[in-house]
Structure 1
Amino acid sequence: MVEQKWIALSNTTLGQLVATINTSIIIVALPPVFRGIHLNPLLPDSFPYLLWIIMSYMIVVSVLLLTIGKLSDIFGRVRLFNLGFLIFTMGSILLYLTPNTGDIGALEIILFRIIQAVGGSFIMANSFALITDNFKESERGFAISINSLASVSGVSIGIVVGGVLSVIYWRDIFLLSVPLGIFGTAWSYLKLKETSPRKKQKIDVLGNVLMAAGLISLLIGVTYGITPYKQSPMGWTNPMVILALIIGTLLIVFFILWEGRIESPMLNIHLFRNRTFAIGSFTAFISAMGMMGLLYMLTLLFQGVWLPLHGYSFSITPLWAGIYMLPLTVTMGIFGIIAGRLADRSGAKWLVIFGLLLSGVSLFILSFLSYNFLYYKMMILLILFGIGYAFFNSPNIASVMSTVPPQERGSASGTLNNMRNTGYVASMGIFFSILIAGISTTLPSAITSALNSAGASSLDKTVSNMPPTVAIFGSFLGINPIPSFIPNGINLPASTISIIEGNTWFSEVFSGPFMSSLDVVLFFASGITIIAALISILRKDRRYEDSLETIARTKKESENNSNKLDNHGKL
C-alpha cells in the first residue's frame, strides 16, 4: 500500500504541474488564439484583451491565495485542494469550448481563465502545507524540491507543447490540461486523506474584503501602468492608474492594521515576528520577480532579436525560444532536488544566500552580452542562474514552512505563494516599465535612420510612430509589427517593401534600443537579488518543533531551579 506522504506528494506535484503549464502555455499560443477569435492583438482596441488574457490568471491567483490558505486551516486542506482540481478542470474545458469570436470571444477567454485561476489558487495555496503535514522535517526539503521541479518543468512543457499544439489547432492548448485535471481530481478525491489539524475560528470577512480589494486595485494599477495613455507610451500618468495605486496602498495598510487588532485574523501578523518567515517571504517575492522577469526578457530577446537574425521566421520563434531556454528550467529542476537534499542535511540559510548571490551575479554578467551573442555563452549564464534559483527556492520554502505551527500552515503556505505570485505580476509591471521608458526615447530615431538607409523615408511618419508597447509585445508574441504600419498603395519599390517587411529588418532596428534598455533591467534585477542575499544573512532558521522543545526545556529548568530554592529555604 502506498504511504500517505507519497500520495500527498504525487497529488500536489501534479497540481503544481498543471497550474504552471497553464501559466506559460498561453504566452506561446496567443497569436493563434487571437487569429482563432479574429482579433489583432496589436490594435489599440484589442491590446487590453491581450494584457488581461496574460495577466488575469496571475492576478486572481495572487488575490485568492491568502484567503484560501486561511480557509484551508479552518475547513481542511485536502477538501479545498480537491475542490481546486475540479474547478481548474472545469475552467480548462470551458476554454476549449469558447463559443464566440471577436470581442465577446476575448471576454469569454478572460472569464474562463479566471475560473481556471480560482481552481489553481486552491491547488497552490495548499501544496506546501500538505507536503509539510505529511513529511517529517528531515525529508521536507527533498519533497518540496520534487514539487518545485514540477513547477519549473511546467513552464518548459507549457512553452514547448503549447508551441506544437498551437500550430495544429489553437483550442488544443486548453485541452492539454483536461486529462491531467480529470486524473488529478479523481486521484485526490479517492486517495488523499486529511492529516492536518483544523483550527476553529470565525471567518475574517472584513479582512478578506480589504485584502482582496487592495490587491486588485494595486494590480489593476500596475497592469494599466504599462498600457499607453493618450500620447504617452505608458499609463503611469493616467488619473485612473494613480487613483488605483493610492486606493490599493491605503486598503492594504488598513488590512494590516485590522489584522493586528482582531482575535481571528485572516493573516496572522505574528507570523512575521518570526525572522525566518518574514525574510523568507520577502526574498521569495524578490526571487520570483527576478526569475519571471528574466523569463519575460529572454522571451523578448530570443523572439524579437536573436532568432529572427539567425533565420527563424517570427511565427515559430515562440516555440524555439522555449527550446533555447530549456537549460534554465532543466537546471532549476535538477539542482532543486540536490539543494533540497542538502537543506535536509545541513540547513537552509547558507544555501539560500549562495543561491541568491549566484542568481544576482549571473544577471549582472548577462547585461554584458551583445544582441548577436554566441549561444554557448548564454547557455552557461542560464545554467548558472538556474543553479542559483534552485539553491534558493526549495531550501527557502522548506525552512519557512518548518517554522510555523501545524494549525497555521495553510495560511503560511498561502502567504508564501502569494508573495511569489505577486512577484511575478510585479516583474511585468516594473521590468516592462523600465523597458518601455528606454525604448520610447531611442526606437523612433533608430527607425527613422534605418528607413532613410533603406530609401523609404516616406514611411517615417507612420512606422517611426510605432508605440513601444507594440514593438515589445509584437516581439513577445512572435509577430513582426512592421507590416501593420505600412499603408496600402505606398509608392515604393516592391524590393524595398520586401526588405522592410522581411524577417531581419525589424530585429536589426529593434536590437539597439532594446539591448540598452535590457541592460538597465538586468542591473536592477541583479541589484535587488544581491540585496536579498545580504538580508538573508539575518535569517535564523529554526523548526517550530525545536522552538517548542526549547520552551519546554526552559520551563522545566525554571521549575527545577524554583524547587531547589524552595527546598533550600525549607532547610
Structure 2
Amino acid sequence: MQSQNSHYKWIALSNTTLGVFMAMLNGNIVLISLPAIFRGIQINPMAPESAAYLLWLLMGYTVVTATLLVSFGRISDIFGRARLYNLGFAIFTGASILLAFTPGKGSTGATELIICRLLQGVGSGFLFSNSTAILTDAFPPNQRGMAMGLNQILGIGGSLVGLIVGGLLADVHWRLVFLVSVPVGLTGTIWAYLKLRDNSALLKRQKIDWLGNGTFAVGLTTLLLALTYGIMPYHEAKMGWGNPWVIAGLIIGIILLAAFIYIELHTETPMFKLDLFKIRAFAAGNLSLFLSSIARGGLQFMLIIWLQGIWLPLHGYNFEQTPLWAGIYMLPMMIGFFVMGPISGFLSDRYGARGFATVGMLLSTLAFVLLTLLPADFSYLPFVMILLIAGVGMGMFAAPNTTAIMNTVPPEHRGASSGMRATLQNTGSALSMTLYFSILIIGLAQQLPTTMYQGLLQAGVPSAVALQVANLPPTGALFAAFLGYNPMAQLLPATILHQLPQASQQLILGKVFFPKLIAPAVMSSLKIAFYISAVLSIIAAVASYMRGKRIQPLH
C-alpha cells in the first residue's frame, strides 16, 4: 500500500502541474498574440469599439476563473476533487478546440472568441480550485512544500512561457495560439480520468449552499466587471469611473459580497467555512497572498508597456517585433522563479514557511524600489538583476505560503480552501491590472496632451490636427504600443500624414518619436505603481511573519 501511495503522489503531482501550467500559459498567451488574432478575424484594434473586445479577451478569462473558484472548490469537497478536476480538464480542452476553429470574422468572430474564452475560464476554475487540494491529499505533510514548489513553479512559469510561446505561434498563424493547448489537454484529460482518485472523505451528505454560491459569484463578477469597464473611455471622459453602470456595479458588487459573508455566518452548510479565518496561519497566509497578488499582478503588464512602448523601439526594434521580444527580455524573472521555487518549497518542509515567505516578500519590495531608480532608457544588466531579484522573491514566497495555508485546513475543507486561496490570488491580480492601468491612464491624460501637441507641432503637423490628436483618449496610444502597432501611424490621419514632407513623415513614424513623447508620463506613472507595490509587499511581509511559528500539519 505504501508503494502504491508513493507511486500515486507523483502521478498527482505531474498531472496537476500539467493542468495548472496549461491554464496559466493560456492566461497570458493572448497578451502577446492579440495583434495577430485581431488581424486574423479582421478587426482594427485601434477602432473605439474594439477596446471592449480587447479588454474582454484579456481579462474575461481571469474574471470568470476568479468568481468560480470557491464554489467549484466546495462542490468538489462534496462530489469529488479528482472527478471535477478531470471535468475541468475536459471543459478547458473543448473550449481550446472551439477557440482554434471559430468561423466568424469581425465583431461576430470577436464575440465567438470571447464566449469560448469565458468557457475556457470555467475549465481553468475547476483546475485551479482542485490542484492544490489533490496535492495536499496525495503527499505526506513533510513533502507538501516540495510538491507545491514544483507545481507552482511550472504554474507561474507557464504565465511567463505564454508570453514567448504566444509571440512565436502568432507569427505563424493566430489559430495555433489556441490549438497548442489541445494535445496537452486531451492527454491530461484521459490521464486524469484513468489515474486520479480521491484520497480523503467527501462531504456527500452536505447540501450545496446555493444562496452563498450565488451571492459570491454574482457579487464578485459584478465588482470585477465594473472595475474592468472603469478603465475604458466613457463619452468624453478618459476613463469610465463616472459611468452610472460602473458606479452601480461597484455598489451592487460590494453589497452582494457583504451579503455573502452574512449568509455564510448564518447557514448550517456554508459554501466556505469562514471560521477557518480564525486560524492565525490560514488568515495571515491568505492576507499576504492577496496583497502580494495586487503588488505583482500588474507587474508583467507594466513592464511590457515599458519595454514595448519605450525601451525596445529606442533600441532599434520595430513596433511589430516588440511583443515577442518583451517576453524574451523578461526571461530573467522566470529563471529566478524557476530556481528558487522548488528549493524554498523543499526547505520549508523542514524549517517552516514563515522565514522563506517573509524574506521572499522583502526581496519583492527591494525589486519594486530598485525599478523606480531606473531611467526610461535603462542599461539592460541592472534590469536583469532586478528581474532576478523579483523572480527569486516570488519563488521564495509562493510554495511555502501555499503549503502553510493548506496544512492548516481540515481534509474535508481542502477543496473550498484551495478555491478561496486561488480566488484571492486571481482577484488580487485583476484588481492589480485595474489599479495600475488607471494610474497609467491618469498619468498619460495629465501629461501626454501637452507633450504630444508640442511634438507634433514641431514635426510640422497643422495646429488644429495636432490639438485633435493630442486630446484623443490615451488608451489609443497605450493599446497601440501594447499590441505592437506603430502608434503614430494609427493616431495621425493618413491624409494629413501624406501631406507632410518626407523628413517629417520619417520622424513621426520612426522608432524614437513616440517613445520619447510618452516616456515622461509613463515613467512617472510607473514609479507611482512600483511604490504602491513596494508598500503592499512590505505589508505582505509583515502579515507573513505574523502567521506565527511552525504548526503541526493536519493530515
What TM-score do the two structures reach when normalised by structure 1?
A: 0.94
| Of 238, 246, 249, the match for 2:254 | 249
Q: Deviations over 1:165-199 (max 9, x none)?
A: 10111111101100000110111111112212101
The Cα shift of 1:463 comes to 2.1
The Cα shift of 1:260 comes to 0.4
SS in structure 1 of the partner of residue 236 of structure 2: coil
Asked whether the equivalents of residues 141 and 344 of structure 1 are also in contact (C-alpha less than 8 Å), the reply is yes
- 2:472 corresponds in structure 1 to 466
| Of 189, 193, 197, the match for 1:189 | 193
Q: Where do 1:229-268 residues align within 5 Å?
A: 229-268=234-273
- 2:367 corresponds in structure 1 to 362
Percent identity, aligned pairs only, is: 45
Q: Deviations over 1:445-468 (max 9, x none)?
A: 111121233232444123212311
The Cα shift of 1:544 comes to 5.9
| Of 228, 235, 238, the match for 2:233 | 228
Asked whether the equivalents of residues 352 and 550 of structure 2 are also in contact (C-alpha less than 8 Å), the reply is no
CA distance in 1, matches of 2:494, 2:365: 48
Deviates more, 1:464-473 or 1:27-36: 464-473
Counterpart of 2:58, as a letter, is I
CA distance in 2, matches of 1:401, 1:308: 45
| Of 23, 27, 49, the match for 1:23 | 27
Q: Where do 1:303-342 residues align within 5 Å?
A: 303-342=308-347
CA distance in 1, matches of 2:516, 2:75: 53
CA distance in 2, matches of 1:141, 1:117: 27
- 2:488 corresponds in structure 1 to 482
Asked whether the equivalents of residues 402 and 542 of structure 1 are also in contact (C-alpha less than 8 Å), the reply is no
Sort the Cα spacing of 1:545 and 1:510 in 2 relative to 1 into closer, same or farther, 3 A.
closer
Counterpart of 1:461, as a letter, is L
Q: Deviations over 1:508-540 (max 9, x none)?
A: 111111111111111111111111112223212
- 2:164 corresponds in structure 1 to 160
Asked whether the equivalents of residues 284 and 419 of structure 1 are also in contact (C-alpha less than 8 Å), the reply is yes
- 1:122 corresponds in structure 2 to 126
SS in structure 2 of the partner of residue 319 of structure 1: helix
Asked whether the equivalents of residues 354 and 549 of structure 2 are also in contact (C-alpha less than 8 Å), the reply is yes
**How many residue pairs align between the two structures?**
547
SS in structure 2 of the partner of residue 452 of structure 1: helix
2:513 is aligned with 1:505: yes
CA distance in 2, matches of 1:274, 1:386: 29
- 2:41 corresponds in structure 1 to 37
CA distance in 1, matches of 2:494, 2:87: 53
The Cα shift of 1:434 comes to 1.1
Counterpart of 2:222, as a letter, is S
CA distance in 1, matches of 2:273, 2:187: 35
The Cα shift of 1:505 comes to 1.1
What residue ranges of structure 2 are gaps of 5+ in the alignment? none
- 2:59 corresponds in structure 1 to 55
What residue ranges of structure 1 are gaps of 5+ in the alignment? 549-571
Counterpart of 1:497, as a letter, is Q
Q: Where do 1:124-523 residues align within 5 Å?
A: 124-199=128-203, 200-458=205-463, 459-490=465-496, 491-523=499-531
- 2:545 corresponds in structure 1 to 537
Stretches of 4+ aligned residues off by more than 4 angstroms: 541-546
CA distance in 2, matches of 1:449, 1:171: 42
CA distance in 2, matches of 1:354, 1:123: 29
CA distance in 2, matches of 1:489, 1:471: 19
RMSD: 1.3
Deviates more, 1:356-365 or 1:90-99: 356-365
The Cα shift of 1:292 comes to 2.1
Asked whether the equivalents of residues 438 and 517 of structure 1 are also in contact (C-alpha less than 8 Å), the reply is yes
Counterpart of 2:62, as a letter, is M
CA distance in 1, matches of 2:473, 2:300: 23
SS in structure 1 of the partner of residue 403 of structure 2: helix
Asked whether the equivalents of residues 61 and 120 of structure 2 are also in contact (C-alpha less than 8 Å), the reply is yes
- 1:559 corresponds in structure 2 to none
